[in-house]
Structure 1
Amino acid sequence: MARTLREVARGDLVRVTTGVGPQALLRGAAAGRFPFPRSEDSRLIPWYCPRERAVLTAGTVHLGRTLERRLKSKGWATSADEAFDEVVGHCADRPDTWITGDMRVTYAELHRRGLAHSIEVWSPDGRLIGGTFGVQTGGLFSAESLFHTEDHASKVALVDLADRVRSGGGVGIDCQYITPHTKALGTQVVDRATFLQLLGRARGLPARLPTERLPAARLLDVARGEPPAR
């Protein structure tokens, strides 16, 4: 998820292609690979499969005190697939983005097919203040990037996604590389072989991401191991 030159390790490179289209991205996700274009002008696209993989599940979610206070007091709401293009646009709006124009076209096509999804976090006055997006492979969701315009809104998006994946019959979220941001939420690191076994089990699951708009405060129950009130 934190796909920057600093986080991506050279030894995790597994292949190079001359482009990325919807089918290539789906095949890559099914094999545990993800692309990392270096610039809009990149002719060769490197693909990575980390030796150590970060995975988040609803069962491992940890909410810090600050995040708990935000969930209790802010009146935020969450949704899925209400503003896919806006979420991707916010995630791409940074100087060192890997989300090139071609990648945005590819993700938009997968979203049109129902294979890529977004999570949105909304303020009480209807502003989009955080989110994440990615590709679903059976019961495993590959979260590609995230953003926030208010503190902790991107964390809320990830916790919300973990809950929606679980309630929709899935097993968890592939966060790719561990970061302080994801580690604070309870993300676990597994080796490549373990991750690929998890992916293999998840590929055949008939999981479906729930899309209704829900109060973010319900996520306080996720870290307690309780089914959130809906």
Structure 2
Amino acid sequence: MFHVPDPGPDDDDLVAVGGALDPGTILHAYCRGLFPMHLPEGLLGWWSPVERAVLPLDGLRITRSMRQSARRYRVTVDADFGGVIHGCADPSRPHGWIKDEVIEAYTRLHRMGWAHSVEVWDDEGTLAGGLYGVAIGGLFVGESMFHRKRDASKVALIHLVVLMNEGGGRLLDVQWQTSHLESLGAVVIGRDEYLRLLPEALSVPGPFRRPAG
């Protein structure tokens, strides 16, 4: 297993380079406030943003159109992880970073009970959007979301927030801030604050239960 270092006070967003996407290394990284993402040249980077985006579980902004959209869709959890991660990996999407190696690694984590998906289905039973990420205790790290129909990814996020609130979730990490996430209520906190919140989130059961054995 690649040794993922703890982020230091002088580190930039990129803390380490190297290793492989094996389950032990990935989970070890999340527990120390890092996540994997390849650099443009193909090397595997381990990141801990100095400014970390999180979505407060009482801070999701739900517009009237989002509420209307939510009534049009059916939502499931862990019903089609493969469909969701492949939807997120669609090569036609701009700034795509989810390659075959990433799909394989997170599919393995899903089979082990660590990675989870939220699926949004239209009235014809077609996958309209969704999201996936990794849950460890009361922490959920959102990796990516996608939509093929209006507001479908937002509906997935609404469902995730409800699930976390009802199931004892503590920290919804969305990694880097974007204008889209900010419009939904995501805020930026410093790395020190994130690392302060992380141990408590990891210590509680959270909404996702791993299968026994």
TM-score class, shorter-chain normalisation, is 0.7 to 0.9
Query: How many angstroms does 1:209 deviate by?
Result: 2.6
Query: How many angstroms does 1:46 deviate by?
Result: 1.1
**Is the counterpart of residue 85 in structure 1 residue 82 in structure 2?**
yes
Could you tell me the TM-score, scaled by structure 1's length? 0.80
Partner residue in 1 for 2:91: 94
> 1:162·1:172 contact (CA, 8 Å) conserved in 2?
no
Q: Which runs of 5+ in 2 are unaligned?
A: 1-10
> 1:178·1:189 contact (CA, 8 Å) conserved in 2?
yes
Q: Distance in 2 between matches of 1:71 and 1:159?
A: 9
Query: How many angstroms does 1:77 deviate by?
Result: 1.3
Q: Distance in 2 between matches of 1:125 and 1:192?
A: 43
Could you tell me the TM-score, scaled by structure 2's length? 0.86
More deviation, 121-130/81-90: 121-130
**Is the counterpart of residue 22 in structure 1 residue 51 in structure 2?**
no
SS of 1:59's equivalent in the other structure is coil
Q: Distance in 2 between matches of 1:97 and 1:69?
A: 30
Query: How many angstroms does 1:94 deviate by?
Result: 2.5
Q: Distance in 1 between matches of 2:33 and 2:99?
A: 21
**Is the counterpart of residue 36 in structure 1 residue 37 in structure 2?**
yes
Matched letter for residue 85 of structure 1: G
Runs of 4+ in structure 1 over 6 Å off: none
Q: Superposition RMSD on alpha carbons, in Å?
A: 1.8
Query: How many angstroms does 1:190 deviate by?
Result: 0.9
Partner residue in 1 for 2:117: 118
> 2:57·2:172 contact (CA, 8 Å) conserved in 1?
no
SS of 2:173's equivalent in the other structure is strand
Cα offsets for 1:20-60 (capped at 9, x unmatched): 21111111111111111146x82x31111011111113311
Q: Which runs of 5+ in 1 are unaligned?
A: 1-9, 211-230
Query: How many angstroms does 1:179 deviate by?
Result: 1.1
Query: How many angstroms does 1:106 deviate by?
Result: 0.9
Partner residue in 2 for 1:69: 68
Matched letter for residue 82 of structure 1: A
SS of 2:91's equivalent in the other structure is coil
Query: How many angstroms does 1:65 deviate by?
Result: 2.9
Taking every aligned residue pair, what percent have the same amino acid on both sides? 38
Q: Distance in 2 between matches of 1:38 and 1:50?
A: 14
Partner residue in 2 for 1:221: none
Aligned length: 197
SS of 1:60's equivalent in the other structure is coil
Q: Distance in 2 between matches of 1:108 and 1:85?
A: 7
Partner residue in 2 for 1:205: 204
